Structure 1
Amino acid sequence: MTKQKAKRGPLQFLQFSVIGVSNAGVDIAVLNLLLLLFHPDSRMLLVLCNSIAYSLAVANSYLWNVNITFKRSAIGSKRQRILFVIQGLISLGVSNLVFIGTNEILDYTGVPNWLRYNLAKGLAMFLSFLASFFMVKYFVFKDFGSRFIKEKE
């Protein structure tokens, strides 16, 4: 049983990473579209644009991860959906803090807005991706079934 569990960890991370690339595409595309349409110049508008982009990427993540990465343990229960929303909000907080913080730091360097926003977004996506993976794996889609079987043995 431990061999199977050991193999599942790296495979899950790989699957989560591939899905993460599609989420990154959604996230960056939506953010850049919103930046192009609204030219935000305040922190509040930047947070709003980032939050919208991130939320759409999280919705994409949920659909793919429930059906692929965590298919064995994703039962679609009310508890899992609530925990997924909670982890999404925590990850959104990480994303917004890193995005705004990095943007503020890069603002002092004279980097053009478009590049600054995208560099900040890249770092925010990476750190929120890591936070999200561990919360989803160990709290949201925790494999209760295999734990139950193990306890019975």
Structure 2
Amino acid sequence: MAQQKQKKGPKQFLQFGTVGIANAAIDIGALNLLLILFHTDVKWLLLVYNTIAYMLAIANSYYWNARFTFKHSAEGSNRQRILFIVQGLVSLVVSNLVFLGANELLQLIDTNNWLRYNVSKGLAMFLSFLASFFMVKYFVFKDYGKH
């Protein structure tokens, strides 16, 4: 039993990462589409764009992680949905703080807009991915006694 639990962690991380690749494509694709259609350097609009892109990715994340990565413990209960929303909001805060912070730092060294936004988004996605994985695994889809 302990050996099975040890194998589940790395396997889940790999599955979560696979879903994360799709989420990243949605997230960065939506951000870039918004920037192409409605270019801005206004911080609050960048925050709105990042939030829209992240929310699209988080919806995709819930769908696939509940059916693929954590299917053994995903109940589809209101409790899990609420916890998923809470972790999504926490991860969104991480994403927005990192995105805006990295954007500010890269602006100080006069990085061009496209590179600055995409590097900032990449850092934001990576750190929010890590936060999200651990919250989803240990709080949202925690296996409460199921074997």
Which interval holds the TM-score relative to the shorter structure?
A: over 0.9
Kindly report which structure 2 residues correspond to 1:1-153, keeping only aligned pairs within 5 A, or say none.
1-146=1-146
Q: Moved runs in structure 1, 4+ residues, more than 3 A?
A: none
Could you state the TM-score of these two structures normalised by the residue count of structure 2?
0.98
Q: Which piece of structure 1 moves more, 33-42 or 87-96?
A: 33-42
Counterpart contact for 1:73–1:145, Cα < 8 Å: no
Paired residue total = 147
- 5+ residue gaps, structure 1, are none
Counterpart contact for 1:65–1:71, Cα < 8 Å: yes
- Alignment partners' CA distance in 1, 2:45 and 2:118: 15
Could you state the TM-score of these two structures normalised by the residue count of structure 1?
0.94
How far 1:145 moved relative to its partner?
3.1
For the residue of structure 2 that corresponds to 1:41, the secondary structure is coil
- 5+ residue gaps, structure 2, are none
Instruction: For 2:98, give the aligned amino acid.
Output: V
- Alignment partners' CA distance in 2, 1:85 and 1:23: 16
How far 1:119 moved relative to its partner?
0.3
Cα deviations across residues 28-53 of structure 1 (Å, max 9, x unaligned)? 10000001111122110000000000
Identity %: 66
- Alignment partners' CA distance in 2, 1:90 and 1:42: 23
Compare CA radii of gyration and give the structure with the larger one.
1
Counterpart contact for 1:92–1:128, Cα < 8 Å: yes
- Alignment partners' CA distance in 1, 2:124 and 2:79: 27
Instruction: For 1:18, give the aligned amino acid.
Output: T
